[in-house]
Amino acid sequence: MIRLGVDLGGTKTEIIALDERRTELLRRREATPAGDYDAIIALLVRLVRETEMEVGKRGSVGVGTPGALSPATGRIRNSNSACLNGRSLKSDLERALGREIRLANDANCFALSEATDGAARVSPVAFGVILGTGVGGGVVVNGQVVGGASAIAGEWGHNALPWPRAEELPGPRCYCGKTGCIETFLSGPGLAADHLAVTGEQLAAEAIAARAATNEAASQTLARYESRLARGLASVINVLDPHVIVLGGGLSNIDRLYTNVPKLLREWVFSDVVETRLVRNYHGDSSGVRGAALLWEN
């Protein structure tokens, strides 16, 4: 039996086929039809059919998506791909494909991939973090995703930034309706907005990171980011105390986070020692789509 994973992103949709040993047989990426739910369903069905044709086998199908299914309605909510919200994505896709599928939040899929055979393998409790266009998180305990009672476990991005400083209040407005959410500070757009507000310089997050080694203003922007990331993660550690925190998403490529943030945690974690390791993902860009396939691991 092969396992297919689909990562349904806001701008791109990726499919992967894994064999029994989790070896990648095929991977393909296409643009996500913007704002068109029916076209998204059609794309997912076509990708699954074409992949199965190409590898010559039928597979299980796991799907990672922003947001999650509401246990109350069976419909997607909390997705920043707004056209998915209110839609019965799982049952619509099952009807279209004629089989049961498994569907999970994309950050949960990322955490599952890293905990299964990536940077968090053999860690009993792992917290996976996406620092990208948005900020998400997923909890994996003993190799199993912890979905939670309301299917929001790990969703730390829309908590308020902990231990805020005066200049961080009330914080930027968030699409969720609140202000000062962790996501508004720690996402790529959040980092860029902070740099713009302080320096007047309009730069994308990657450009700020690239410049930080030689440019004092960019370096200070990253220092503010590191302080906020440390506070955000310290509040997670105080609740979950994971053995490892794995970073994913575009901002996880900033090397200095892995040396600077651990030093800052001590100030906020309610413990004499912080044994939680902060590590970079192992599977890179393919972690989310692998994790979707691995929803059928157990």
Q: In the complex, which residues of this chain contact Zn ion (CB under 5 A)?
A: 158, 174, 176, 178, 181
CB of 173 to Zn ion, least distance (A): 9
CB of 186 to Zn ion, least distance (A): 11
Both tokens of 145, joined, read 């995703």
CB of 4 to Zn ion, least distance (A): 32
**CA proximity to 129, closest of 271, 23, 3, 234:** 234
DSSP class of 297: -
Identify which of residues 171 and 288 has a Cβ nearer to Zn ion in the complex.
Answer: 171
CB of 183 to Zn ion, least distance (A): 5
CA 110 to each of CA 41, 137, 293: distance values in angstroms, whole numbers, following the listed order: 22, 9, 11
CB of 84 to Zn ion, least distance (A): 17
The Cβ-side half-sphere exposure at 151, using a 13 Å CA radius, reads 19
Identify which of residues 44 and 131 has a Cβ nearer to Zn ion in the complex.
Answer: 131
| DSSP H helical ranges for 166-275 | 182-186, 188-199, 205-211, 216-240, 257-265
To 5 degrees, how large is the angle CA 41–CA 79–CA 223? 135
Tell me how far apart the alpha carbons of residues 90 and 76 are, in angstroms, rounded to a whole number.
Answer: 9
First to last CA, the chain: 13
CB of 110 to Zn ion, least distance (A): 19
Identify which of residues 178 and 277 has a Cβ nearer to Zn ion in the complex.
Answer: 178
Helix axis angle, 216-240 relative to 257-265, nearest 10°? Answer: 50
Q: Give the strand pairing for 2-8 and 59-65.
A: parallel
Identify which of residues 2 and 181 has a Cβ nearer to Zn ion in the complex.
Answer: 181
CB of 12 to Zn ion, least distance (A): 23
Identify which of residues 84 and 182 has a Cβ nearer to Zn ion in the complex.
Answer: 182
Identify which of residues 49 and 173 has a Cβ nearer to Zn ion in the complex.
Answer: 173
Identify which of residues 122 and 176 has a Cβ nearer to Zn ion in the complex.
Answer: 176
- Find out whether 2 and 297 touch, Cβ atoms under 8 Å: no
Number of neighbours of residue 247 by Cβ within 10 angstroms: 25
- Find out whether 251 and 188 touch, Cβ atoms under 8 Å: yes
Identify which of residues 65 and 281 has a Cβ nearer to Zn ion in the complex.
Answer: 65
CB of 182 to Zn ion, least distance (A): 8
